[in-house]
Amino acid sequence: MTGSTNDVISVDRSSYLQVVSDLKDAGYNMCSDLCGVDYLEHMGRPLPEGVAPERFEIVVNLTSTINRIWLRIRVQIPESDPELDSLFNLYPGSEAMEREVYDLIGIRFVGHPDMTRILLPQDWEGHPLRKDYSIGRIPVQFKEVRRTR
């Protein structure tokens, strides 16, 4: 675990689950947010010393409601192996957030009880929030508007 401040830390993927478990034991009793980011076009972004940039990143916000503090965790995820351990057993409320990341970016969460799409149809091809996802074109149809005076 490395970090330059006390509210944002970068965690290695291999120690992610243990670090989050330790943080829960330390009083971070709520996973308030979990999302994925595709840095395909920003591989040179600034990261803490010793953290190698990867295409994908998982960002987790943990909250200690008792101490009224939060902590952001950043985890680098390689394009060649887009997987990360699931937080479901620690924070059951992360279930839908992990499914959304899988659905839209394609990062799988190992140990998740239902790693299926949540927003798109099950037969949808690809992950639309990836920067290399082909943008389709849907024609916009406007209804005729009647003006009243």
The predicted-structure confidence for 2-40, as pLDDT tens digits, reads as follows 433 359 999 999 999 999 999 999 999 999 999 999 999
Q: What are the tokens at 115? A: 């790693």
Over the stretch 29-86, which tens digit does the pLDDT of each residue have?
A: 999 999 999 999 999 999 999 999 999 999 999 999 999 999 999 999 999 999 999 9
Number of domains in the chain: 1
pTM confidence score? 0.86
Domain residues for the domain of 128 are 1-149
CA atoms of 45 and 66, how far apart (whole Å): 34
Contact 51, 2 (CB under 8 A): yes
Alpha-carbon gap, residue 20 to 31, rounded angstroms: 10
What CATH number is attached to the domain comprising 68?
A: 3.30.460.80
- C-alpha 56/C-alpha 36 separation (Å) is 7
Distance separating alpha carbons of residues 111 and 103, to the nearest angstrom: 16
Residue in this structure with the two tokens 């916009």, named with its chain if needed: 140
Ramachandran category for residue 40: left, alpha or beta (phi over 0 → left; psi -120 to 50 → alpha):
alpha
